[in-house]
Chains A and B, each alone.
Chain A
Amino acid sequence: MKSYFTKFYNWIDGRVDLSDLVEFMGKKYVPVHSHSMWYYFGGVSLFLFIIQVITGILLLLYYKGGPDLAFESIQFIMSKVQFGWLIRSIHSWAANLFILSAMIHMFSVYFEKAYRRPREITWLTGMFMFFLALGFGFSGYLLPWNELAFFATKVGTDIVGVIPLIGKPIMIFLRGGEDVTGATLSRMFGFHIAVFPGIFTVLLGIHLLLVQRQGMSEPFRTIEEPGWEKKTMPFFPNFLLRDLLLWLIVLNIIAILAVFFPWELGKKADAFAPAPAGIKPEWYFLFMFQTLKYIPGKIGFFDGEVLGIMLFSFAGLAWLVIPFWDRKSQRGEKNRLINYIGIFVIIYIIILTIIGWIF
């Protein structure tokens, strides 16, 4: 057995010279300190993405696009296909956990100021992947063609439409026409299974390559502590095994959620029915949704919704380019302002999400 493996290894090695790679793996160390636990969330996000790819491909075997087929095909998957309910529930649950895990990963990087030089590109690719993840959530939400998804898509694309000048053409592009119809479903399907995964994979490749190339970022404070001594753990096998153990736990959590809280399908979308009472977007859009409820119709000369949407857009943009305006962290100084902003953002999101959830 061993000799077969050795033979195979030598065969590859003789052609592509694996020695560099093996040496790199052997020398890769992960810093150990009181904040090390945050390192795991990137890996968990990666694992959830892999689950999404696998379950997504499985769903594609039975899913049919189109307003007359989509809802029925998911019904078919849920009721007729063996373990179809499981695959779909896992896809839905893992999608939500993926956003959650990516959020934790993002905030931990934010508070550790790990985006500072030389890791600006890693931050940018990560943020673009996060925006794509929201896009995945939004486009995937419509695919079952149910009532909630129909109105969520109407509102979501209409929000894009209120942006001055460029909003309207983008809205028509997203909807495939003036209204949300079967054309919108086709487009969202295309984005969800082809466009977004393609872009995401490229970004993920760059992101992971940079992490390997530059190693893990370390927080400033460990360096300042008296009597501090750098501790590390080998990536292979120590860190990798811990990673895998956590992945196994995550998989179990998803399985439990999928079995005991299977994802609902709801009612089929009807363009001539009123929006159902209690309609809500997915939890990760809830804080924005709740904010829109509070903004009055008119603020001075402006439409309230336009102002609110512009505000969120600018906040998102400022967040995206933080490595370029947080000069203090770049110089290696403490920047409390960044922490205060981050804490404010988290508290704001949590409070409005809870309010949106209850009311």
Chain B
Amino acid sequence: MNKDISGKEQFPGTIPRRDFLKYIFGGSLLAWALSVLYPILAYLKPPKQPEVEVNSVKAGKASAMEKDSGTIVKFGNKPVILVHTASGEFKAFSATCTHLDCTVQYRKDMGLIWCACHNGRYDLTGRNVAGPPPKPLIEYRVLIQNDEILISKNT
């Protein structure tokens, strides 16, 4: 590389001019590729939407809800399942199945919370009792004030 016509090395200990130019061009090319790719990759990542922090929601009249039934309540933008058990208790859990994100429902015939997608089952304490779910459902607190059902996060 860094040799004269007779094959003798010139300027020993320095980077040959060709190599130097190679690094400059290669480096510029890489920098250029990165400067093109970075905005594209950043664009693909969806921006975080500001979520309204919800701590509690009203879920209607306690007297209006039949015993041994369940319903889905909007909790911010997440679904929560409210169950009025056969024994008269009110229970609330996250309605998002811990298996693969489906929304669960109350099954009267089983007396259980059931997910239609992969036949996952939870008992009325939210424990995953059968099927593929790996974790229990997160429990929410239910308060009845003047016949009004109030669901709030368990802190």
By a CB distance below 8 angstroms, the chain B residues around A272 are 72-74, 79, 103
A179 within 8 A of partner (CB): yes
B94 within 8 A of partner (CB): no
Which of B73, B79, B133, B134 has the most chain A CB atoms inside 10 A of its CB? Answer: B134
Interface pair A276/B132, CB less than 8 Å apart: no
A273 within 8 A of partner (CB): yes
Q: Main SS of the interface on chain B?
A: loop
Interface pair B116/A303, CB less than 8 Å apart: no
Q: What is the CA–CA distance of A279 and B74 in the complex, to the nearest angstrom?
A: 22
Q: What is the CA–CA distance of A177 and B117 in the complex, to the nearest angstrom?
A: 22
Query: In angstroms, how far is the closest chain A Cβ from the Cβ of B76?
Result: 11
B132's partner among A157, A176, A183, A292 (CB-CB below 8 A) is A292
**Residue interface bits A243-258, CB-to-B below 8 A is 1, else 0:** 0000000000000000
Query: Which of chain A's residues 273-308 have a Cβ closer than 8 Å to chain B?
Result: 273-279, 289, 292-293, 295-298, 303-305
Interface pair A173/B100, CB less than 8 Å apart: no
Known A173-B44, A176-B46: A274·B104 in contact at CB below 8 Å = yes
**Residue interface bits B11-51, CB-to-A below 8 A is 1, else 0:** 00000000000000000000000000000000011100100
Which interface class (under 10, 10 to 19, 20 to 34, 35 or more) fits A?
20 to 34
Query: In angstroms, how far is the closest chain B Cβ from the Cβ of A176?
Result: 5
Q: What is the CA–CA distance of A223 and B73 in the complex, to the nearest angstrom?
A: 69
Query: In angstroms, how far is the closest chain A Cβ from the Cβ of B152?
Result: 18
B131 within 8 A of partner (CB): yes
Q: What is the CA–CA distance of A169 and B45 in the complex, to the nearest angstrom?
A: 8
B67 within 8 A of partner (CB): no
Which of A162, A289, A293 has the most chain B CB atoms inside 10 A of its CB? Answer: A293
Interface pair B118/A293, CB less than 8 Å apart: yes
B149 within 8 A of partner (CB): no
Interface pair A172/B102, CB less than 8 Å apart: no
**Residue interface bits B61-90, CB-to-A below 8 A is 1, else 0:** 000000000001110010101000000000
Interface pair B134/A273, CB less than 8 Å apart: no
Known A173-B45, A279-B116: A273·B103 in contact at CB below 8 Å = yes
Interface pair A305/B103, CB less than 8 Å apart: no
Given known contacts A158-B101, A292-B132, what 6 new A-B pairs fall within 8 Å (CB)? A177-B46, A275-B102, A276-B116, A297-B132, A297-B135, A305-B99
Can you list 14 contacts pairing A with B, beta carbon distance less than 8 Å? A151-B102, A151-B117, A155-B102, A177-B46, A271-B77, A272-B73, A274-B72, A274-B103, A275-B102, A275-B104, A293-B118, A295-B132, A297-B99, A304-B132
A-B complex: 6 closest residue pairs judged by Cβ atoms: A274-B105, A158-B101, A297-B134, A275-B116, A275-B102, A158-B100
